[in-house]
Structure 1
């Protein structure tokens, strides 16, 4: 089967299995992965070998970038300490506990630490897929953790691989120096690329060029960092955050809508394809197992799966008490949450494609040219742990979230009301100057002023005819669409004209929906806190 045909098969599987997962109400990544076990029996598809470099370069940068563009930077700042504790402390703790388990089953300490580093990070896309329904504070914490912990894990992985292959001997000074360099270098390169892209976008006035630059950006951040031996993951994340911060005043509305729509679709297809391809690798992983008997390797995988889950549970529940012992400030006390609220975060540590990519990237030979023993065990255990966390944690997390009875995110609605009112008030204040400069008729100014006053919450309440006007305008737009298509069908206008006019109708339709939602939020009763 040729490459193009394989792409068609994989994308068809992504769409079909995702639809089936949504119909059955099961975890999408899990069904994508398990569904491909069947597809892997097809000779041409099953013969596809996924290399670690393909995942780390082809899949990881765009997926991380798409997440960074939409994550809440305010919540990152508010929960920064928790994110650091999870993305650094928990990664190192998991590396140690998994390594101890692997060594107990006969792996050398060096290979055991490679296994620990491989399985220490959670997967950003898998977390986003299974953690729906979490309030934004908890969801942002988990997403930010999964974005950053890849950098910590891959730095630990590089140290462990060097020791396992005999390239270097372990020393604390060198290990800490590599971690510091990896983070500082990734931060600097990511910020530099992000600022460069912002500067370039100020001079672009073409939607196609802006969209093309957006596609290039994650790779432009990842490659220099990876070539310099620092964290490409952190470089992509920081670059995305810099651009996301500047985009409201930098990127035109049409380009922003197009870019975000593109990344939404791209992330969906890339994430689904990654899990599909991971599923096709599982039969190869089992077939190549030689360093350990299959049953002993399976027992090791089960033990490591339990250790990975238990380590996260213990760490998430114990680390807040350590923080409280050190930080007794009032602001810290206000952010404390009951133990019940920590359970979804503790149970949300699903693993995914990043772990498998790291395992597949493990060298096959040592520096002396000898075969690196137990590499097949590392890959096998990693694959089983991915399946286990998706099956056990990913599938049950929605029920855990419901059981935890997390408080509703009322702050989001309050902030949205504030935003609608504030921007309407700012528009009202600027209206006279703009109207005078543009010589706008008084009747138009009066009508716009009344609309802005309503949006700013300056009226007594919603007018009885507001919804009626909304419905009427919707019906008028529908009639316009029908008439437009009729002109095209009677060959009175060209398709290119239809598309241009339809864009204006779509924009008008969208403005109506946004206006109705803003009107509803501005006048709905607020709960007591």
Structure 2
């Protein structure tokens, strides 16, 4: 433990420094972390890193998915659910099929089952990489909504393919009827258990007298419970965490107080940042171990690199082809959902952008490492080292090549040059603030005149409720006025929740304003 602690501390320090460098260079920090881990792994004298796949599947994956479910716009997910569903399931299955057919024809000894196994491993794009890369460029809300929604669900579909392929390789047969029933149970059972456990945790938050630290601590164990219970009953742990996270996110105003919402934001932001950083560093550090196993099997390194390049090309091509197929089917069957205004050039270049956002990462590596060393018969698992190496090459190439070129592609193509300018966004915020102020004014006017007279602060609120006078004077507030202020803030939250049903209002602006209201409530508590 004493020898491991300095290594862990050095990793966290390296993550912080590399993130600072990535921000300065305006590139995604996962790229620098993978490259740094890759370079460090070949330093002489360092111990080889061997990652336990359960460490990623159970320790890292649930909180990463849970945090993503809390931050995504559920309104945008509902609006673009067809596109999200097609990318998260249909495109993943098509990509896995494309990889399986190609490697079965090109790589000696690769059966179709092994091809589907590899396809399931590499077919799911990484959410963290895409989000970190696209934050440096401006893309439309519907594009980011599709990418974020896809990233929440595609891990489940790729892991389902992976699990079925493992069964087919181990048993030598594939029963479609059983596989169909298992698939239905994994989706329905995983989603149902996630919703049930989330509902139970919401009741615990509501009914127990939890303080702020206890509430935040409880949120940290919730994704692990959802994932573990679903997996114990052979459901999809990924879908359990996603469905449960989305449900709890929609209920956050009812079971968390303002202090818990404010402080949990910072806690989860730091927690997820460290988890992501550690995983991407470990991806780079794992290469030396993978190369050793490849050489032990007598596979030439240039040949393996060529296979990795081939699979990467198939992944990119299949994703771009799928994006165009989705666009054409939308134009034919549901042209009304195409965003307006959308030029012809922008419409036909957007699938290339969607195809170029397929960076692979955490889940792909964990799935590859989860391949057993031997079959049930005791024989060595066929092509295991080659699958591991191809997976690493795919992760490295998609992160570096696509990750570094995606921002430049968007800027040079001027694909989204007509997006809302900063001035337009400022006007949208001003409009939102004006509506909220008018609502607050009407709320105060509706109160009894006795409550609004005789107190200079409350009278000042009628003209400009955001201004506060005599804030440090303890005599300005009493129980009655404090109750009025809290009722006013609750009314503001209800107003914003109702306003969020308007499809023209950006949910990010709503959430920013809700956060400001939470801060205002906590400030009043400190002054009272």
Task: Output the TM-score relative to the length of structure 1.
Answer: 0.81
- 1:380 aligns to what? 389
Q: 1:43 to 1:332 in 2, by over 3 A?
A: same
1:412 shift after superposition: 6.5
Name the counterpart of 1:200: 204
Contact 1:110 1:163 in 2 (8 A): yes
Matched-pair contact (CA < 8 Å) for 1:340–1:404: no
Which stretch of the first structure deviates more once superposed, 439-448 or 205-214? Answer: 439-448
Paired residue for 1:163? 168
The CA RMSD measured in Å over matched residues stands at 2.9
Count of aligned positions: 463
Q: Indicate the residue corresponding to 1:309 in structure 2.
A: 316
- Given that 2:194 and 2:241 are in contact with CA atoms closer than 8 Å, whether structure 1 keeps it comes out as yes
Is the Cα–Cα contact under 8 Å of residues 95 and 116 in structure 1 kept in the other structure?
yes
Seen in structure 2, the aligned counterparts of structure 1 residues 25 and 414 have a Cα distance that, compared at 3 Å, is closer
Which string of whole-angstrom CA distances, capped at 9 and with x for unpartnered residues, describes residues 246-268 of structure 1? Answer: 11343212111111111111111
Q: Deviations over 1:432-454 (max 9, x none)?
A: 565668676343222011114xx
| Matching residue within 115, 118, 127 for 2:118 | 115
1:343, 1:400 within 8 Å by CA — same for their partners in 2? no
Match of 2:231 in 1: 226
Equivalent residues of 1:341, 1:404 under 8 A apart: no
Rounded Cα–Cα distance in structure 1 between residues aligned with 2:253 and 2:407: 33
Alignment of 1:383-398 (within 5 A): 383-398=392-407
Q: CA deviation at 1:331?
A: 4.5
Find out whether 1:318 has 2:318 as its counterpart.
Answer: no
CA distance in 2, matches of 1:304, 1:193: 39
Q: Offset at 1:213? A: 0.6
Superimposed CA distance per residue, residues 203-240 of structure 1 (whole angstroms, 9 cap, x where no aligned partner): 34400110101111110111111111111111111111
Aligned to 1:140: 145
Distance 1:190 1:437 in 2: 49
Distance in 1 separating the partners of 2:157 and 2:256: 32
1:260 aligns with 2:262: no
Tell me the distance in 1 between the aligned counterparts of 2:46 and 2:353: 37
The equivalent residue for 1:105 is 107
1:45 and 1:225, CA in 2 relative to 1: closer, same or farther beyond 3 A? farther
Partner of 1:441: 454
Match of 1:408 in 2: 419
Q: Structure 1 unaligned segments of length 5 or more: list them.
A: 456-468, 481-509, 516-529
Distance change (3 Å), C-alpha of 1:368 and 1:126: same
Distance 1:284 1:349 in 2: 25
Q: TM-score, normalised by structure 2?
A: 0.81
Question: 1:251 and 1:323, CA in 2 relative to 1: closer, same or farther beyond 3 A?
Answer: same
Residue in 1 that maps onto 2:436: 423
Structure 2 residue 248 is matched with structure 1 residue 243: yes
CA distance in 1, matches of 2:241, 2:263: 21
Query: Counterparts of 1:5 and 1:213 in 2: how far apart (Å)?
Result: 29
Q: C-alpha offsets along residues 384-421 of structure 1, whole Å, 9 cap, x if unaligned? A: 10000001111111112222432424796676445433
Alignment of 1:346 onto 2:355: yes
- Give the superposition deviation at 1:430: 2.8
Q: How far, CA to CA, are the matches of 1:333 and 1:18 in structure 2? A: 35
